[in-house]
Amino acid sequence: MRNLKLTIAYDGTNYVGWQVQPNGPSVQEAVERAVEQLTTKQTRVYVAGRTDSGVHAIGQVANFSTEANIPPEKVKLGLQRFLPDDIVIRNVEEVSPDFHATFSATGKHYRYLILNSRTPNPLLRNYAFRHSAPLDIDLMQAGANYLLGEHDFRCFETRFPNKATSVRTMYSVKVSRQAGWSMWGSPAGLGEKEPFVVFDIVGNGFLYNMVRAIMGTLHKIGQGKWPPEQMREIIESQSRAVAGETAPAQGLYLMEVMYDGGITHQS
């Protein structure tokens, strides 16, 4: 029995998330159907992170076991033949039998994208959260710094408790501005410089809706409605009721999954 690891990118707009749900199409359903069509065997596909409805992925990781004797490169091409255009297999490799996309992961990198522009961009309505008023990224960074290290993050978890523990460790947080979007070019903000506010966070694990709740809190800080120090108070409160609202799904991307300190994201 072989164990194959997939690196997957997908546009989450038309899906109810990764996991199979009764209320609409899922990414898992599409991938498992493609595996069955390629190998002629119904197979469970395991995933690093169950992204929610509307959330995108650049470096999602999954694995499945198979007896099919197909080289990895041909598995990649074969699966793509059975997948819709908004799901792409970026890489396939054979790994050890004990590799598990979920339980072997040591960390994840998520990115949240805000279009901080007075003018809407019709091409980005499903790929960024637009906020028209100015955002102070220095204040947002100061607030984000309180996330670093090990904390009980239940204040950012929807429907607590969902896991055995809500303690997680954040390794890095960064709020930055970027100028362009490749589909739109330099006029993305119609004259506004660096209209994209990008939040990157890397940790050993994340709770349900955690990144979006953090982004909703940083959004308040960036508008000057809350001081950066309120992030610390929110974490210490361990109450979801005092944190910011859950930011919209379309701005969130699973960028990378880490295994044994390495990054799975490949170009």
Cα dist from 147 to 105, 141, 156, whole Å? 21, 10, 11
Rounded-to-integer distance, Cα 87 and Cα 127, Å: 15
Domains and CATH numbers, the chain: 2-95 (3.30.70.580), 107-261 (3.30.70.660)
Instruction: Report the pLDDT value the prediction gives residue 261, as an integer from 0 to 100.
Output: 58
Per-residue pLDDT at 260: 82
203 by Cβ neighbours in 10 Å (0-12 / 13-18 / 19+) ranks as buried
Query: Which residues in 44-60 are b (16+ Cβ under 10 Å) and which e?
Result: ebbbbbbbbbbbbbbbb
Q: How far apart are CA 196 and CA 176, in angstroms?
A: 8
Q: What is the DSSP letter of 24?
A: B
In this predicted structure, what is the pLDDT of residue 191?
52
- Is-contact 211 201, C-beta < 8 A? yes
pLDDT at 158: 85
Distances in whole angstroms, Cα of residue 227 to Cα of each of 49, 120, 144, 156, 157: 32, 28, 11, 18, 21
DSSP, collapsed to helix, strand or coil, labels residue 200 as strand
State which residues of the chain have pLDDT below 70: 162-163, 180-192, 261-267
Q: Are strands 2-10 and 56-66 parallel, antiparallel or unpaired?
A: antiparallel
Q: Check residue 194 and give its pLDDT.
A: 83
Residue entry with tokens 């903000």: 189
Measured CA to CA, the distance from residue 134 to residue 267 in angstroms comes to 33
Helix (H) / strand (E) element for 81: namely helix 72-81
Helical packing angle, 210-222 and 230-237, nearest 10°:
150
Q: Which residues contact 44 (CB under 8 A, 6 or more apart)?
A: 32, 64
248: DSSP letter = P
Q: Is 152 a catalytic residue?
A: no
What pLDDT does 265 receive? 42
Which of 11, 52, 98, 136 is labelled catalytic? 52
| pTM assigned to the model | 0.91
Question: What's residue 181's pLDDT?
Answer: 57
Distance of CA 162 to the CA centre of its chain: 18
